[in-house]
Structure 1
């Protein structure tokens, strides 16, 4: 049996915005009626057909790494950030501050990736001061090597004026946004525009994974002492 490759998607956002409810709905196609607070990280998995219906179709496991949003764990949660092939940023439509705080989560990812920039198997996001403000765009702040993002706005059922949402963060990142009620399966039903956005995001994450693996392999080939073989077992050829 052929092993199925896995893609890691980080799900980030403040506590209480509905990350766990979204993940459960996306992974199981059913609402989570009694969500609990996430401490540390929880992982859900679903199968996804990459480029379904084409000659390039291939099955992947999508791993949702639901990261606890508590401020007190900010210094320890970075252990879950590597590797990362894409990130879903979740905010509460009834809480504008939760959307404004998304740039802090992007900055946090950027900082951790910068710290891992010497890893041969990882392409990092450049860390810039632009992330400290809300006025940044994906190209200037992240460069062309950025991981793909998707923004999710939750609790749409509690918003009085549903047309008032402007989606500032998604606009800054140049990515798609989905606004939804995580207790209603229809928001992610097959064939809907939301389902198409999700599928497109998964495909981008898969392509990022492939790119990272390809770049890592190329770097190891060009390294005179390849990380594939530990230097402990390496000795130069002597005539």
Structure 2
């Protein structure tokens, strides 16, 4: 683990909501997302929570003082990215700031009252939308999954309602699973939700432990997403009077 003077008791937490139909691979994906060099084993990153399956990892946010904040919470995809929106370089050092990242996947065997869900959603700092590449209906259904969380985030974090498909609401990452089951890698859907949100999209096999290998394209997209989640938390905090 890289040397870092920050004590764990001083580490802030960001919360990421996993959304998608049942059976698309959210649990397997969370296992991959929560794995890192400094949180290596499932036992060290699993948190008990009645209504949610929660996993935790540490993320090192680079303190690059010479760069402006990320201009858009749902940054342009790799196919649309230009020099105007470059990915910030990642240069780990002792000055990096540590954050706990909690991934929340709703326990499908339990039901939550709407009031409980809405109260939880306003504390979300980022969203991962998950769909099955073999069933594009699961991608279309993401609009329904996304509506209530975005409504609460816009109300409590931005203090006003915003159109659901507006880009600047909360960091979003779109993930298509079961890539290994396809004969050909699919092209980006112009009408797909990632295109509509101008969000980064990752296609992968959730059972492949190398899906986020060091210095890979997927790892870069994940790191950029986590950085934007941290920035969102710091720039749009939940006011003290609204905290649960």
**TM-score normalised by length of structure 1:** 0.71
Aligned counterpart in structure 2 of residue 123 of structure 1, from 149, 154, 158: 158
Q: Tell me if structure 2 keeps the 8 A contact 1:13–1:69.
A: no
Secondary structure of the structure 2 residue equivalent to 1:185 = coil
Q: Give unmatched runs, 5+ long, in structure 2.
A: 1-6, 43-48, 63-89
Secondary structure of the structure 2 residue equivalent to 1:44 = strand
Does residue 12 of structure 1 match 2:19?
A: yes
Secondary structure of the structure 2 residue equivalent to 1:150 = strand
Does residue 100 of structure 1 match 2:123?
A: no
**Structure with greater contact order relative to length (CA < 8 Å, sep ≥ 6):** 2
Indicate the residue corresponding to 2:224 in structure 1.
Answer: 200
1:67-94, Cα deviation, whole Å (9 max, x unpaired):
2468976846444323011101011111
Aligned residues: 196
Alignment of 1:87-166 (within 5 A): 87-113=127-153, 117=155, 119=156, 122-123=157-158, 126-128=161-163, 131=164, 137-139=165-167, 144=168, 146-164=169-187, 166=189
Check 1:14–1:79 CA distance in 2 against 1; reply closer, same or farther (3 A cut): farther
1:111-143, Cα deviation, whole Å (9 max, x unpaired):
3335xx3x5xx3357254xx5xxxxx434xxxx
Q: Give unmatched runs, 5+ long, in structure 1.
A: 33-37, 132-136, 221-226, 229-239
Greater share of helix residues, 1 or 2? 1
- Report how far residue 162 of structure 1 moved: 1.8
Check 1:87–1:125 CA distance in 2 against 1; reply closer, same or farther (3 A cut): farther
Tell me how far apart the structure 2 counterparts of residues 10 and 211 of structure 1 sit (CA, whole Å): 19
Question: Which structure has the greater CA radius of gyration?
Answer: 1
Secondary structure of the structure 2 residue equivalent to 1:49 = strand
Alignment of 1:197-236 (within 5 A): 197-213=221-237, 216=239
Q: Tell me if structure 1 keeps the 8 A contact 2:123–2:153.
A: no
Tell me how far apart the structure 1 counterparts of residues 91 and 105 of structure 2 sit (CA, whole Å): 30
RMSD of the alignment, in Å?
A: 3.1
1:97-123, Cα deviation, whole Å (9 max, x unpaired):
100011112212123335xx3x5xx33
Indicate the residue corresponding to 2:51 in structure 1.
Answer: 40
